[in-house]
């Protein structure tokens, strides 16, 4: 294990170099002794779908669950309001089939929208219902995906051969990370961008049958870093939406700026669950 990857308990500050140490992980690591949990309790949590959070993260999760419910409620209210307005507009159009009357109705609607926009400060704008719904749908579509960067492609004019090669790459990664699977667990493997035999390292998007298989794979990525396999140097990431990629880019730029101004006593990294990504300061071990 690389020195920087040694787990340190947040409570007792003890280092655990063994990758199989019984640690519960949230944004930070906690040993079961400090949490006053038995090995049996740890095994139950580790072997199930049960999610564990420290006190601080649990408060954020509970808060975000409430926010998500509020967003869904607001979206339903907005959509019901839109449907009522559309129904009224259709009724008015049916009862006033004269073309001039229809134009007046549309003109009034456009004028109302323009007046509303003129009175809104752009800095105070929040994502509209459509944008929120689209973002939720995109995250749902990508929840079983992961992206592999830096893997060689097969040189072949036959698309079927290249796809078979990429599925084998995905299967090999799961094997290295000790994730049990069969041929049906990998739904598809797709390269991003147009095939070019002279540029053979396009990002590879892998879709799994189960999101639990993906979670197990990400939990075991340490085995890939510690292996001697040719794939150990590839980089594995989540399949992010555009808004998530924009946030990641912003945070990494902030990290680079902080690194350039730092004295060398600290390193800066992007950490946290998807709903609370942020830049954290990490002391450099000497």
Domain match, 181 and 259 both: no
Token output for 55: 């006190």
Q: Provide mean pLDDT across the span 49-56.
A: 68
- Ranges assigned E (strand) in the chain: 7-8, 15-16, 23-25, 29-31, 145-149, 186-191, 204-208, 235-238, 266-271, 278-283
Domain match, 149 and 234 both: yes
Domain match, 64 and 105 both: yes
75 DSSP 8-state letter: H
Domain span at residue 73 reads 57-126
Domain match, 174 and 148 both: yes
Number of domains forming the structure of the chain: 4
Which CATH number does the domain housing residue 25 bear? 3.30.40.10
Statement: residue 101 has pLDDT above 70: no
Q: Which residues are paired to 237 by β-bridges?
A: 147
Evaluate whether residue 176 is within a structural domain. Answer: yes
Evaluate whether residue 135 is within a structural domain. Answer: no
Domain match, 68 and 103 both: yes
Lowest-confidence range among 43-57, 77-91, 169-183, 268-282? 43-57
Q: pLDDT higher for 115 or 16?
A: 16
Statement: residue 203 has pLDDT above 90: yes
Give phi and psi for 158, each to the nearest 5: -90, 115
Domain match, 157 and 222 both: yes
Q: Which residues contact 152 (CB under 8 A, 6 or more apart)?
A: 200, 201
Q: Provide mean pLDDT across the span 82-95.
A: 72
Q: Which residues contact 166 (CB under 8 A, 6 or more apart)?
A: 153, 154, 189, 190, 191, 204, 206
Domain match, 192 and 209 both: yes
Provide the pLDDT confidence category of residue 49 given band limits of 50, 70 and 90: low
Evaluate whether residue 138 is within a structural domain. Answer: no
**What's residue 235's pLDDT?**
92
Of all residues in the chain, the percent with pLDDT exceeding 90 is: 27
Q: pLDDT higher for 182 or 77?
A: 182
Q: Would you state the torsion angle of the CA atoms of residues 204, 210, 215, 220, taken in this order, to the nearest 10 degrees?
A: -70
Evaluate whether residue 85 is within a structural domain. Answer: yes
Evaluate whether residue 118 is within a structural domain. Answer: yes
Query: How confident is the prediction for the chain on average, in pLDDT?
Result: 80
Calpha distance 22→250 (Å, rounded):
34
Token output for 136: 């939720």
Measured from the Cβ of residue 84, the count of other Cβ atoms closer than 10 Å reads 10
């Amino acid at each position: 294990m690389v020195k920087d990857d040694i787990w340190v308990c947040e409570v007792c500050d003890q280092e655990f170099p063994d990758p199989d140490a019984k640690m519960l992980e949230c944004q930070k690591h906690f040993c079961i002794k400090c949490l006053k949990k038995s090995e049996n309790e740890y095994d139950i949590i580790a072997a199930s779908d049960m999610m564990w959070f420290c006190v601080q993260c649990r408060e954020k999760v509970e808060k975000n669950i409430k926010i998500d419910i509020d967003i869904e409620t607001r979206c339903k209210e907005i959509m019901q309001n839109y449907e009522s307005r559309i129904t009224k507009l259709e009724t008015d159009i049916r009862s006033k089939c004269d073309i001039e009357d229809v134009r007046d109705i549309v003109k009034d609607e456009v004028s109302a929208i323009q007046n509303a926009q003129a009175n809104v400060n752009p800095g105070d704008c929040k994502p509209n219902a459509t944008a929120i719904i689209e973002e939720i749908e995109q995250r749902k579509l990508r929840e079983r995906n992961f992206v592999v960067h830096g893997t060689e492609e097969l040189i072949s004019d036959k698309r079927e051969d290249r796809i078979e090669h990429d599925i084998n790459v995905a299967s090999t990664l799961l094997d290295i990370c000790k994730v049990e699977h069969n041929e049906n667990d990998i739904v598809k493997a797709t390269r991003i961008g147009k095939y070019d035999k002279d540029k053979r390292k396009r990002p590879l998007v892998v879709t799994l049958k189960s999101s639990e298989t993906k979670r197990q794979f990400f939990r075991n990525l340490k085995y890939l870093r510690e292996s001697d396999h040719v794939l150990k140097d590839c980089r594995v990431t989540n399949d992010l939406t555009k808004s998530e990629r924009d946030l990641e880019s912003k945070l990494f730029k902030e990290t680079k700026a902080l690194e350039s101004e730092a004295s060398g006593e600290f390193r800066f990294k992007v950490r946290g669950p998807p709903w609370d990504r942020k830049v954290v300061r990490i002391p450099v071990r000497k």
